[in-house]
Amino acid sequence: MKNAKFILIIILTIPISGLSQSLKNLDYVSPFHNGYAAIKKDNQWAFINTKGAIVVDFRDDLVATSIENVNYPIFSEDRCLVIEVKNGISYFGYIDTSGKTVIEPQFLNATNFSKGEAIALKLFKETVGKNKALGKDVVYYKYFEVTIDTTGTVGNHLTQKGVNVVLDKSYLKKPPQITSKHISENLYAIKHKDKTWTIINYND
């Protein structure tokens, strides 16, 4: 009798073959993109692979992309946008498919990667003098629209004239818009304030 009970305990503690772990009480499950699907729970997002295993755990810094009027994070070329708020200002960077930060949040806005490149708003700091009374440098900030590769290295400057920006949450309440777009392998279209466009070929 004791042997029978012992065997029954062993059977109950051994996982049943083919029984998979289920993810329950999810608020949203996205379609798969590049082999990964985003899942949402309690206002946080995670990623699963095609076997249903979580590869990036739930977190609140993943940036959603609008696809067919639905917003959810995606991996594009093994990179997903993340956001970090510093002193009320949003900065964008990227993680890889393991959840590791591979491009530190530093851009005022950024796009998903496509064909090895993304468009980002790169911030530049210029020191123009010194406030002798306060003993502090007088600085100005500008951002340029640039292309970056999957390591975060800047390639082309899509805008030649920087946009002045005040790094204060009272002035910069939301990320500035990106006005450039990649339209073919070497062609970029840049929209101007007067709503006209310029097409640039960076292969020439």
Per-residue pLDDT of the chain (204 residues; tens, 9 = 90+): 455 444 444 444 444 444 445 788 999 999 999 999 999 999 999 999 999 999 999 999 999 999 999 999 999 999 999 999 999 999 999 999 999 999 999 999 999 999 899 999 999 988 766 765 666 777 889 999 999 999 999 999 998 888 999 988 898 989 999 999 888 888 899 888 888 998 988 875
* Residue 82 domain flag: no
- For 43, the domain range is 26-75
Provide the residue type at 125 as one letter: K
Name which of 146, 136, 49 is nearest 99 in CA terms.
49
Q: Are 96 and 52 in contact (CB under 8 A)?
A: no
End-to-end CA distance of the chain: 86
The C-alpha atoms of residue 91 and residue 108 are separated, in whole angstroms, by: 5
Match 């949040």 to its residue by tokens. Answer: 105
* Residue 123 domain flag: no
Q: Are 121 and 105 in contact (CB under 8 A)?
A: no
* Residue 175 domain flag: no
The C-alpha atoms of residue 133 and residue 24 are separated, in whole angstroms, by: 60
* Residue 102 domain flag: no
The structural domain count of the chain equals 1
The CA radius of gyration of the chain, in Å to the nearest whole number, is 24
CA angle 160, 150, 68 (to 5 degrees): 85
